[in-house]
Structure 1
Amino acid sequence: MTPLPVPSSPSPFVFAPRPARYDTVDALRGLAMVWMTVFHFCFDLSHLGFWPQNFRVDPFWTSQRTVIVSLFLFCAGLGQAIALQQGQGWARFGRRWAQIAGCALLVTVGSVVMFPQSFIYFGVLHGMAVMLLVARLTAGWGRWLWLAGLLALALPPLAHHLLTGAWADAAPWFNSRWLNWLGLVGRKPFTEDYVPVLPWLGVMWWGLATGQWLLARRSAWLQWRLPTALRPLAWLGRWSLSYYMVHQPVMIGVLMAVAWWRA
C-alpha cells in the first residue's frame, strides 16, 4: 500500500505576497506630490529672493496649500481603508507609522536650521502621524465617519469665534504650543507649516469613509487601469514619503547654488 504523502511544513523563507496596489489611489497621491513640488519650488524662489510672493496671506497660494494638504490626507484615509480591508495588522501599521513619525522629527530638525524663528513643530507629517492613529482606532465607526468628519471641520471656526469672544480668557492656553496642535485656536501660530488635528482629521475621516464605501460598492473604480501617460504618477505615489523628504533639500540646494553663482 502506497503511503500517503506527508504535508511539508512551510519554509520560514517563504514570505506572504505583498498586498495589491490600487493605481488610482497611488496616482491621486502622485498628483498631489507634483502639485506640491511646484508649490514648494515657487516658495523657494520667493524665500531666496528670486520671485517675492506672500505665501502666508495671498489667497492664490493659501488656497493651493489647502487643496494639496487635503489631497494628501484624503489619500491617507483611502489608504487606511484599503489596508484594513486587506488585513493589515498592527505590526505592519506600526512600522509605517514609525517611518512617518521619524520623518516628522527630521523635518523639525531641518526647519530649525532653515527657519529658526518659525520652525515646523506640527506640520503635515506630524499631523498625519497623529491622525493615522485616530483613523485606525475609529475605522469601525462606518457611516458615522461622515458625521465625525463634518464635526471635525466645523469645530475650529467655532473655537476661533469663542476664543476671540466669550472664552477669551482661555485663548492663551489653546494658542500655546502645548495645545495649538489640536487646532482649536484663536490665532494661527507663526510657523512654516501648520497642519493641526482639527479640522484636517475630518478630511482623513472622509477619505477613510470614501474608501470603505468604494471597496464595498464600487471596487471596480479603484481597480481602473490607468492610461500609460498617468502611470508615472502612480509610481511617484508609491514612493511619496521618500520623495517628500528629498525634494525640498534638492530644490533649495540647487537654488542656493544658483544664487551663489549669480552673486
Structure 2
Amino acid sequence: MQTRKKRLETIDTIRGITLISMILYHFCWDLKYIKGLNMPWYGTFGSYLWQQSICWSFILISGFCMHFARKPIRNGVLVFLCGIIITCVTVLVLPDAPVYFGVLTFLGSAMILLGAVISLYNKINSTGNAGLSGINGKSNGPDLSVANSKDPLWGLFISVVLFAITKPINRGFLNLFVSNIALPDTLYGQVGQDVLHNSYLTYLGFMQNGFYSSDYFSLMPWIFLFIAGYFLHSVIKKKFGFGIFHINIKPLSWIGRHSLIIYMLHQPVLYGITMIL
C-alpha cells in the first residue's frame, strides 16, 4: 500500500476504527489496573470478546495487506524492533505489567516469515518461468503470488482450520473439534522455573509455567489467522473486485494509515492521562 493509487481506503478506515477501539480498551485497562477504579464489567466475557475483536481485526488486516508491501521482510524487521522497544519500556516503567511477545513482536515475526516464504516461492517460479521463456522464446507471465497459485478459498479454509485447532495451544492442548488433545507437559516448563527459561517455546505458543505478559501473542495460533488474512485478499478480489475497498472516511482512514506510530505513542499518552485524572 505504498502509493495513493494502490491504497485501499476501506482497509485504512477499518484499521482506524479498530485502532480507536484498541485505545479505548487500553484506557479501560489503565483505569482498572493502574488507577484502581472499580470496573467489574472489565474482565468479563464481554470485555474478552471486545479484546478479541481488536486483535483479530488487526491480524487479519495485516495479513491482507501483505499483498501491497514492497519490502515485507524489511517492514517486519521494523515492526519487530518496535515490539522490542515496547518490551524494554514496559519492563522499566511498568515492571508489574511487562509486555513480552506482544502484538508488534508477533506481527513483525509473521511479516518476516510470510515475506520469506513468498520471496522463495516467487524465485522458484521465476526460475521455472525463465526456463520456459528460453524454450518458447517468450514468457507466459504467470501470477507469482502464493495466494493466487491455487484456489485461494482452499488456502483460507486450511488457515482457518489450523487456527481453530491451535487456538488453545497456550493452555496446553489442541482443539480437534469433537475432542481436545493434551500436549506434553514438558513443553510448558516446570513450576517455579525462571519464567523466561525456554522463552523460545513461549514465543512459539507453548507458554511456560509462571510466564506473564500484559500483551501476549505467540506465533501459534496467530500465524494462521495472519495467513488467513493473506488468502482473504485473493478470495475477495476474485469474488467481488475492489470497488468496495475504496470507501474513504478521511479521519478514520488517516488514523489507519498512521497506525504504527499511533500504537507506539498511545500508551504513554493514556498513562499520563490516567495519572492526571
User: Is the TM-score greater than 0.5?
Assistant: yes
* Pairing partner for 2:172 from 129, 143, 160: 160
Aligned: 1:200 with 2:222: yes
Cα offset, 1:214, TM superposition: 2.1
For residues 17-28 of structure 1, the aligned pairs below 5 Å read 20-28=6-14
Once superposed, what is the RMSD of the aligned Cα atoms? 3.0
* Pairing partner for 1:63 from 21, 32, 49: 49
Unaligned stretches of 5+ in structure 1?
1-15, 259-263
1:31 aligned partner:
17
Cα offset, 1:221, TM superposition: 4.0
SS at match of 2:213: coil
User: Conserved in 2, the CA contact under 8 Å of 1:36 and 1:68?
Assistant: yes
2:140 aligned partner:
none
Aligned length, in residue pairs: 233
1:171 aligned partner:
188
Q: Identity across aligned pairs (percent)?
A: 23
Rounded Cα–Cα distance in structure 1 between residues aligned with 2:210 and 2:231: 29
Please report the TM-score for the alignment, with normalisation by the length of structure 2: 0.73
Cα offset, 1:213, TM superposition: 1.8
2:254 aligned partner:
235
Letter of the 1:247 counterpart = H
Rounded Cα–Cα distance in structure 2 between residues aligned with 1:117 and 1:195: 18
Letter of the 2:16 counterpart = G
Alpha-carbon distance change, 46 to 57 in structure 1, aligned in 2, over 3 angstroms: closer
1:109 aligned partner:
88
Alpha-carbon distance change, 235 to 189 in structure 1, aligned in 2, over 3 angstroms: same
Cα offset, 1:117, TM superposition: 4.1
Aligned: 1:140 with 2:129: no
Letter of the 2:81 counterpart = G
Rounded Cα–Cα distance in structure 1 between residues aligned with 2:102 and 2:39: 21
Q: Greater Rg, structure 1 or structure 2?
A: 1
SS at match of 1:140: coil
SS at match of 2:200: coil
2:135 aligned partner:
none
Alpha-carbon distance change, 154 to 166 in structure 1, aligned in 2, over 3 angstroms: closer
Cα offset, 1:57, TM superposition: 4.7
* Pairing partner for 1:46 from 29, 32, 38: 32
SS at match of 1:233: helix
Unaligned stretches of 5+ in structure 2?
119-144, 175-179, 191-195
User: Conserved in 1, the CA contact under 8 Å of 2:155 and 2:228?
Assistant: yes
* Pairing partner for 2:99 from 120, 123, 128: 120
User: Conserved in 2, the CA contact under 8 Å of 1:156 and 1:198?
Assistant: yes
Aligned: 1:100 with 2:79: yes
SS at match of 2:226: helix
User: Conserved in 2, the CA contact under 8 Å of 1:175 and 1:189?
Assistant: no
For residues 212-231 of structure 1, the aligned pairs below 5 Å read 212-226=234-248, 230-231=249-250
